[in-house]
Chain A
Amino acid sequence: MSDNTPVTLITGTRKGIGRHLAEHYLAQGHRVIGCSRSSSDLSHPAYHHFIADVADEQAISELMRHVRGTCGRLDHLINNAGIASMNHSLLTPYKTAQNIMQTNVLGTFLLSREAAKLMRAGRQGRIVNFSTVAKPLKLEGEALYAASKAAVETLTCVMAKELASFGITVNAVGPTPIDTDLTRVIPAQKMKDLLAQQSLKRFGTFDDVTNVADFFLSPRSNFITGQVVYLGGL
């Protein structure tokens, strides 16, 4: 593997969008470090999987030590790991609220903080965070999830300013619902109403998300920072 091989860290790679992103960047020739709370069956010579909770400071510290030791640098971080809980706010347990905030907000903060320390040395880096259309649409039943992603967006914009002088950009993508196991449990009428609020009234695809990530990671996007791009036209 050459010294110029891009090094990309993606959280939540065991399944879904994270898995797709890992496979996509491996196919692009990146060296990919993935993590999730359980093991992964993704096998590739350029892939290394860590079992780590993104909200566990010690585990993330270990992960970053591995990246520093084996790769010597980090070019890209994609903060994909996140949890959702669709529930009326009056029926949301406090513990669930804590878990959502810890993973979505504090996990994104922790990974970004530690990644930026590594990226700083190379005076360049790309951080891509995950928001959701549930935030601008203010979807009922997703109060804590949408609130956590509002925090992620603010974190994105403020860190974009704080890290600009290090040559690090910070942006976010806000996917629409994607036809997965997670969304199939949502009542059809509710999903239809949701899609009706988008300009482009269809489910998103993994490729729609990858396309935005590609744009943010591109070396040519070094003047793009602090932006949140929603899919589907909101």
Chain B
Amino acid sequence: MKEQVLGIIYSAIENENHSLAQPISLEEGENTALYGVGGVLDSMSLVSIVIDVEQMLEEQLGVKLTLVNDSAMSPKRSPFQSVKTFANYIVELTAQVSHVR
């Protein structure tokens, strides 16, 4: 599951890279910083990546998730800090959805 989620996140970043003056390097893999301290994304790029990820999760994995909520936007505990925290967050949310079902 996590590998599939990582693949989706990388695809979304590559999509966004087309419109970035300084594309995000994925050389550091899961440790690539995204948003917040040390991150390279501005808020509009984060919006684009999150929307892309939501759509791909639905299309490829059949999982309908809303990834942004009030706690997710907290600077201290934002799940969007890095590729790894983002992927872990999605896997956690997916498990909760499955549990409810």
Contacts and interface: CB of A to CB of B under 8 A. Distances in A.
Contacts of B48: 120
B64 interface: yes
Interface in B46-84: 48, 51, 55, 58, 64
Contacts of A61: 64
A39 interface: no
B64 A117 contact: no
B44 A117 contact: no
B15 to A, nearest CB: 9
Interface string A53-65: 0000000010001
Q: How extensive is the interface on chain A, given as a class?
A: under 10
Interface in A55-80: 61, 65
Interface string A156-169: 00000000010000
Nearest to B54: A117
A165 B44 contact: yes
A65 B64 CA distance: 11
A117 B48 CA distance: 9
Interface residues of B, number: 6
Interface in B7-59: 44, 48, 51, 55, 58
Contacts of A165: 44
B16 to A, nearest CB: 11
Contacts of B55: 117
Nearest to B55: A117
A61 B44 CA distance: 22
B48 to A, nearest CB: 7
Which residue among B44, B51, B58 has the maximum number of chain A CB atoms within 10 Å of its CB?
B51
Contacts of A120: 48, 51
Contacts of A117: 51, 55
A61 to B, nearest CB: 7
A165 B42 CA distance: 13
A61 B64 CA distance: 10
A120 B55 CA distance: 12
A97 B64 CA distance: 31
A144 to B, nearest CB: 27
Interface string A107-143: 0000000000100100000000000000000000000
Nearest to B64: A61
Contacts of A65: 58
A65 B51 CA distance: 14
A4 B55 CA distance: 23
A16 to B, nearest CB: 33
A61 B51 CA distance: 14
Nearest to A61: B64
B8 to A, nearest CB: 16
A146 to B, nearest CB: 30
Interface of A: 61, 65, 117, 120, 165
The 7 closest A-B pairs by CB, nearest first: A117-B51, A165-B44, A120-B51, A120-B48, A117-B55, A61-B64, A65-B58
7 contacts: A61-B64, A65-B58, A117-B51, A117-B55, A120-B48, A120-B51, A165-B44
